[in-house]
Every structure is written in C-alpha cells, then in structure tokens.
Amino acid sequence: MSDDKNETEGAPGPGEDGRRRERVIGTPSPAREKALLAEDDISAPAGVGEQLDEASMKRAERIVATFFLVAFAASVTFIAYFIGWSGRDGGMHGVLRARESNFWLGGTMALSFLAMAVGVTIWVRRLMTSKPIVQERHELAADEESRAAFAQDFMEGAEDSGITKRPLLRRTLLLAAAPLGLAPLVLLRDLGPLPEKRLRHTYWGEAVKKAQAEGKKGVRLVVDGTNKPLRVSDFSSPGGMITVLPEGIEEEVPEEQVLTQNAKAVTILINVPPDKFKPAKGRENWHVNGIVAYSKVCTHVGCPAALYEQTTHHILCPCHQSTFDATDAAKVIFGPAARPLPQLPLAVEDGYLVATSDYHEPVGPSFWERG
C-alpha cells in the first residue's frame, strides 16, 4: 500500500463529538493508524522497502546521499577555514576577527549537522518501513530474553536500513561523519599557545622606561576614552573611581596590538579616604594622598573588575562577584578570586599622576602560567 493511497484514504473524518477532526501534518492518517493498530504481531520483521517502489527508493537514496555530501563539504570547509585561513590578517584567533570566524565556523558546523540530520531523517522516513514500536517498562538490568530480543530487533533494524546493501549510503555517511569526528581534535588548537612570560609585563613597564630615559619620574596616567593626562587636582574627591592607561599607548603601540596591550594595561584609579587607607607593607609610597591604582583585570578569570562601592570601598567583579578591598591592597574579601588585584606604584610629577614602574606581578587570572 503506498503512502499516496494512505493519504487519500486518510482524509479527516468526523470525531466522537461529531465535529470534523483536523489532521496534524506529519502524523499518520486515521486509516493508516487503524491499519497499524490492527497488526497483531508488530514484532514481525517488515519487508525492506515495502512502502516505496524501486524507482522512488533510488530517488530517495540519491537525495540522502546528496545531504551527506553537503555535510561532508561543510565539515571540510570548517576545518579548512580553521587551519587554512587562520593566519591571514593577524589570524582569526585575534579579537578583531572573532565575529567573522564565529560566523564561518558556526555556520559551517551548523550546516554540516543540519545536512546530516536531514539525510538521516529522509533515510528513516522514506527507505525504512514504518511500524509502531512498543517498549514496555522493565528493570534496568535486562534479562536474557530481552537482550536476545534487542539483538534481534537491532539486526532487523540494520537489515531494514539496508546499510549493508546500500554501499552508496554507507560510504557517504562514513565520509560525512569522518570530518565531524576530527573537528573536536582540531579545536584543541585553541588551548594554546601558553602565555608564557607575556603576562609578566604590561605596556606600563615599557612606557615608564621610555619616560625615565628622558629624565622623567614616570609615565603619565591618561583617562581611558579621552586620553587626557590626569592631574592630582582633577581627582581629589575621595570616593571616585576612573579607568586609566599609560600615556602614548594609542600612538606608539602597533595598531594590531593596541587592543591586547590595552587589555593588559587597563587600570583603575581610586581615591580612598585618608582615614580609611591602610598602605601595605613595602608599598607605603605607592599612593598619592590615598589615590591608588590597581589592575582592572580580575584575578579570577579576567573580567573587568569595574564596579566600585563608595561606602564600603569595595571593588566588585560583576562576573562571579569577587570582591576586593580598595583600602587594603585590593585583598580578596569575597568570591572565587585567589589573589589581590596587582597594584601600580604612583607618584606626582609637575602636578600630574605618574606610574613609576610596571606592575610587580603578572596581571590577570591566577591559573595562567605566570613563570
């Protein structure tokens, strides 16, 4: 009995309440439903390809194979893009090309899974016989009889799918699955390279060296966004917080490195009330009248610790609520961060706030290799 015939016989009929029932697209027609329920022995093996004639089955087979080939092409494109094009224009792993690489990697991977899913769905719906399958609830440990029944069902399913008799489908399916299996291995590349010593230094160190070579005390702090050097008098009210960077970072760092250098050097400046301030041992002269500078990169996993509570003098990281005490060397008082925010030594030169050295310890998450 063909599907077309079923569709004709299965036209919606009146329900128990006498009203015309609408048939949901994709569900068996009422006539087909009755026929299925009437089958006494539902475990009897169904003949392979009972539902379609040979020509229709061949057509369906070609359609399925086409989807598998599309899945294969998409997976290969994913890997080729990841490897082949990753070196262009500073690499797709940089911040600048994240959107483009997300689009292509996500798009090709999604297309591959979609094509594979559509192919398998058409295979099951068009080339395998349909019959109701009832699975009774049973104990978790199956008895011998159940296992034998499962093995028999499995073999029937394998026979029904025609995977041994249809080499074209079998080979294109394996072809489509192979690159997908390799994709996770390729992604391991994103775990490296290790940062090694690159986090030990920020642009503050380089800028301070240049300034000191010109006979200055240190490099001036500029306000993030305006690049305006900051006078002590501009930041004299206790309770304030502002984000600063080393002067010259925008002009002197190569353009493709500006974002990376900014991300490492970004610093928060806080004016802590003098009566609350507790300078750490050995850092007594690292502040200017209670104005202190700490790295803005959270020592948990690197979010910007960008919130400041004026009344408690707490610096908060919004990602996982790590809390640092601005009055006490930015020590951790709550949350998952494992160490304080690194502190930048400050001084005054010609009325401007300057940094007199780089951070004395690496900025950023504690788990990064800091050797």
User: By C-alpha distance, which of 251, 192, 206, 218 is closest to 369?
Assistant: 192
Q: Between 115 and 317, whose beta carbon lies closer to ligand FES?
A: 317
Q: Is 330 in the site for ligand FES (CB under 6 A)?
A: no
Cα–Cα distance list, 239 to 236, 276, 291, 344 (Å)? 9, 11, 10, 19
Question: Could you tell me which of 16, 49, 47 has the C-alpha nearest to residue 30?
Answer: 16
Q: Which stretch binds ligand FES (CB under 6 A): 101-109, 211-219, 316-324, 351-359?
A: 316-324
* Helical (H) or strand (E) element with 36: helix 30-38
CB of 319 to ligand FES, least distance (A): 4
> Closest by alpha carbon to 238, among 269, 268, 266?
269
Among 62, 103, 355, 370, residue whose Cα is nearest residue 212: 355
Residue among 208 and 297 whose Cβ is closer to ligand FES: 297
What SS3 state is found at 198?
helix
Pick the stretch among 30-38, 102-110, 190-198, 319-327 that binds ligand FES (CB under 6 A).
319-327
Tokens read off for 46: 């169904």
Residue with smaller CB distance to ligand FES, 246 or 365: 365
Which DSSP state fits 336?
A: S
Residue 279 or 302 with smaller CB distance to ligand FES: 302
Contacts with ligand FES, 275-304, as mask; x by CB under 6 A: -----------------------x-xxxx-
Closest CB to ligand FES among 287 and 300?
300
By CB under 6 A, residue 248 contacts ligand FES:
no
Determine if 319 is a binding residue for ligand FES (CB under 6 A).
yes
Q: Answer yes or no: are the C-beta atoms of 246 and 203 closer than 8 Å.
A: yes
62 near ligand FES (CB under 6 A):
no
Q: Which residues bind ligand FES (CB under 6 A)?
A: 298, 300-303, 317, 319-320, 322, 335-337
